[in-house]
Structure 1
Amino acid sequence: MTTSRVTRRLMLGATGLALSAPSLLLAKQSARPSVNRHNIMGFSTHDWQDHFDTLGKASIIADTSSRALHFWSGDGKTYKVYPTSVPRSDELTKRGFTTIVRKRVGPDWTPTPSMIEENPDLKYMPPGPHNPLGTHAMYLGWPAYLIHGTHDQRKIGRQSSSGCIGLYNRMIAELYEAAPVGTQVRII
């Protein structure tokens, strides 16, 4: 008569192997070149040529579905990707082509009429640690739409804005220095 002995150590080892199998499979699959340019988290890469005829002064693509901003310098030597916050809903999302028309360090903030309608307690806010625009703002050619920083780091990677594209303060400071007024922007 043969008896099988299932020990706690054997059960823990088998459980660990079962839990790690999907990760091992994904790692093996990611080592292969892929035609699909989306990873498991929904992030997608972009080529500026698919959106613009030239790089111009510089180019930005803000991808609201993958919550990432792609930046190319005008000479093509610099390419950066930044995680972003995006509008809370499609109704708040403006899509299309525009440009950066002005920039400001230490922006002040005035809520739009629709924001006040949604929350009557909102008031003008000077620059500072509670300002929703963070440390830097780049104003787009559409009224009330910006690419700006945020002091609330929980918003990045989420649908949390009233229409703007938000970045971590340290990242908007970097982008602010790299993207001149006149940078072409596409929000998709």
Structure 2
Amino acid sequence: MWLMASVALLAGCNISIEQADNGSSSTTNVGGSAAASVADPNSFLFEDVDERTNPEKTPNPLMRAQVLLDRSGFSPGVIDGKEGQSFTLALRGFQIAHDLPDTGKPDQATIKALEKWPDMKATRLVRIPAGFAKGPFFPALPKDAAEQAKLPALGYRNLIEALAERFHTTPETLIALNGPKAQIGANQVIRVPNVPNIDPASLGEDVRGWNRTLETLAVAPDQPDVAKVVVDKSEGVLRAYDSDDKLVAQFPATMGSSHDPLPIGIWKIKGVSKNPEFHYNPKLFWDVSDNKEAQLLPPGPNGSVGVVWIDLSKPHYGIHGTPEPHTIGRAESHGCVRLTNWDAARLAQMVKPGIPAIFQN
């Protein structure tokens, strides 16, 4: 059944945040002086800053491998520089796609095959653009669906949460890269995983603010066309194949639970909703009282289905994003297939109505 994810307040982030509407806030830079002005106050492009102002202290080969996998379409989930199941699965997917031994290890042959960007570092030192920093943000997102329905959008709570999704990571990783005393805001300089900007000129027709979503998540509109997707319950991944049956992308996924198991079978993709509203029906959830009223929830990355809903021929089931990317592969769902918002946005660019979605054990 459709997932209704509870929205929890961000906790444990000991970092100062300059909100965009607080023009009087005083902030200090991480490794450099802030620019006096920004040419385009609405820009979402993160300018690279001279590394000599704040060099990368300790190279992180695991984070670099995660970034390379992410850029290649074989998502490790959140980029955090740590080993784990999602990283191993991403390596295995990349190895299968490139006819390498299926080890799940960052061996020499795999790293060599990943080296499309041989001089790339694990992280970037960037200046936060004013357009990105101004939000809007929603610091007190309610848990109750009726209260959520009153909001104009279910956006990010604060700038650090937005930055974490932009660079495919977590607030905790940003704190680890910059230190707990770092302050963030417009024109400030911070270190982030090396996820590049997308070219604004590559964006096409804007539907429901989709271009801004792609910029916010650093997802290019140009993605490979796929002929089928396979959701593998045993490994917890979604794999995408082209018309030659070649694996071209793989994403870690959360799927089903004991109450709402993954519906095994061959389904069809009916359509893709970008920045969707969510029709919340309490009667579809075993853990929600039927006395609750149905609600139409506004779109946003912190909504129940994130930034994408890919509708399936199985009624009430879909593939979608999530407000909690760190839980992907580590939590249960109400039967649907959940991806990080950036991976769901990628997949939305790949699929078309009518292609099969195969759910298997």
Q: 5+ unaligned residues in a row in structure 1: which ranges?
A: 1-39, 48-56
Query: Highest Rg: 1 or 2?
Result: 1
Q: Offset at 1:180? A: 1.1
1:125 is aligned to 2:297: yes
Partner of 1:99: 268
Kindly provide the amino acid, as one letter, of the partner of residue 344 in structure 2.
I
Partner of 2:284: 114
Q: Is the 8 A contact 2:254 2:337 kept in 1?
A: yes
Partner of 1:73: 242
Task: Measure the CA separation in 2 of the matches of 1:77 and 1:185.
Answer: 15
1:140 is aligned to 2:309: no
Deviations 1:20-74 (A, max 9, x none): xxxxxxxxxxxxxxxxxxxx95958689xxxxxxxxx611110122110000122
1:155 is aligned to 2:327: yes
Deviations 1:83-125 (A, max 9, x none): 011112264321100110011101121234131x522357431
Q: Is the 8 A contact 1:136 1:176 kept in 2?
A: yes
Q: Is the 8 A contact 2:259 2:334 kept in 1?
A: no
1:60 is aligned to 2:232: no
Q: 5+ unaligned residues in a row in structure 2: which ranges?
A: 1-83, 98-225
Task: Measure the CA separation in 2 of the matches of 1:85 and 1:159.
Answer: 6
Q: How many residues align?
A: 140
Q: TM-score, normalised by structure 2?
A: 0.35
Q: Give every structure 1 segment of 4 or more consecutive aligned residues whose post-TM-superposition deviation is greater than 4 Å.
A: 40-47, 75-78
Task: Measure the CA separation in 2 of the matches of 1:111 and 1:153.
Answer: 21
Q: Is the 8 A contact 1:87 1:159 kept in 2?
A: no
Task: Measure the CA separation in 1 of the matches of 2:322 and 2:341.
Answer: 6
Task: Measure the CA separation in 1 of the matches of 2:261 and 2:280.
Answer: 14
RMSD between aligned residues: 2.8
Question: Structure 1's 90 and 64: CA in aligned 2 closer, same or farther, altered over 3 A?
Answer: farther
Partner of 1:177: 349
| Percentage of pairs with the same residue | 24
Task: Measure the CA separation in 1 of the matches of 2:261 and 2:246.
Answer: 33
Q: Which has the higher contact order (CA 8 A, sep 6+)?
A: 1
Mapping 1:4-23, distance limit 5 Å: none
Q: Offset at 1:75? A: 4.6
Higher strand share: 1
